[in-house]
Amino acid sequence: MISIRQAEPGDRNSWTDFILRSNNGTVFHLPDFLDYHPEGRFRNHHLIFENKSGIVSIIPGALAKKEDGVWFRSYPGASYGGPVFNDSLGLSKIERIVDELMLYCRSQGFRGIEMTPPPAIYYRRPNNYLEFSLVKRGFSYRKRELTAVIDLSRLGEELRLGFRSSALRGVRKAVKSGVEVKENSDFSLFYHVLESNLQQRHGVIPTHTLEELEKLRNLLGKDRIKQFIAVKDGEVLAGMVMFHCNPRVTLAFYISHDQEHQALRPVNLVYMEVIRWAKQMGYHYMDLGTFTLNMEVNYGLCRFKESFSARGIFRNTIYGSV
């Protein structure tokens, strides 16, 4: 028998331990990550599923007001969410958890459920049991984006053999121009480049302020967030901020460059060196982020990421009434 309850402060250690040992948990499911959001920003509603043996699933969640009422959704301030499962669970038990979640939401008067689970590459043992169970029960895809993923295991010691000539030409140009890539923990060195680029190209600001980014690293630990910058003559030309999502995947949360120095191709060199680092660190995959928005493709960005051996993997958001 499975019971459901809201998480309490005393669950913190067992919650963290479960995520770290789970099949599909990520840094975005950890209470340390959720602490980054100030109290009151979201209507938190984290759920713990238990049986007589202990925790079998955890869903960090929040309540969202929609036109037809209140919905339960995976955490709004996280890239990925949805249920985290014990590695031993098979299809029948995952279906049972989905049924119990729907019954619980119905009993609370919620109108529906929406979630964005991690893509299959984040799983210790990949499966589509969750989405199968949801679709079988009438859920639909609200959107299906493509995130660019590099399979690091298929890249040999000579990384260049896995990249297109266009990517390598950019790397050579950056090196010849005197650009160097370094790991550096000072976010302020790169942040102004990131902020300026997002404003010029998309008219938006970074998801995190500089202070929030520093707070997040303090909460998660310096080993879970790494920054790499491309430098020439002491000036930062480009950079990449990596999130350690779990032992299998590292995620490029921010990638950006200074438009004035684009001709030097600093981003190409950043890609090359961070891919080299990720492979040396033992990650299986490197997630470069999406190149679609509401299923509209940015083909230039798509081709650039593909030139470094990335291929698009679904990042699904799924929803349904209860």
Per-residue pLDDT tens over the stretch 2-15:
999 999 999 999 99
Q: What is the pTM of this model?
A: 0.93
CA–CA dist 299, 301 (Å, integer): 5
DSSP string, 263-312: GG-HHHHHHHHHHHHHHHTT-SEEEEEESEETTEE-HHHHHHHHTTT-EE
Residue of 275, 288, 203, 191 whose CA lies nearest to 239:
191
Q: Which CATH architecture has domain 148-315?
A: 3-Layer(aba) Sandwich (3.40)
Say yes or no: do domains 3-138 and 148-315 share a fold: yes
Q: What is the pLDDT of residue 272?
A: 96
Nearest 5 degrees, angle CA 207-CA 209-CA 214? 110
214 half-sphere exposure, CB direction, 13 A CA radius: 10
Residues of the chain with pLDDT under 50: none
What is residue 54's three-state secondary structure? strand
- What CATH code is assigned to 3-138? 3.40.630.30
pLDDT value at residue 1: 86
User: Cα–Cα distances in Å, from 136 out to 80, 85, 99, 132, 315?
Assistant: 22, 19, 11, 6, 19
User: Do 239 and 228 contact (CB within 8 A), yes or no?
Assistant: yes
Q: What pLDDT, on a 0 to 100 scale, did the predictor assign at position 157? A: 76
Residue ranges of domains in the chain: 3-138, 148-315
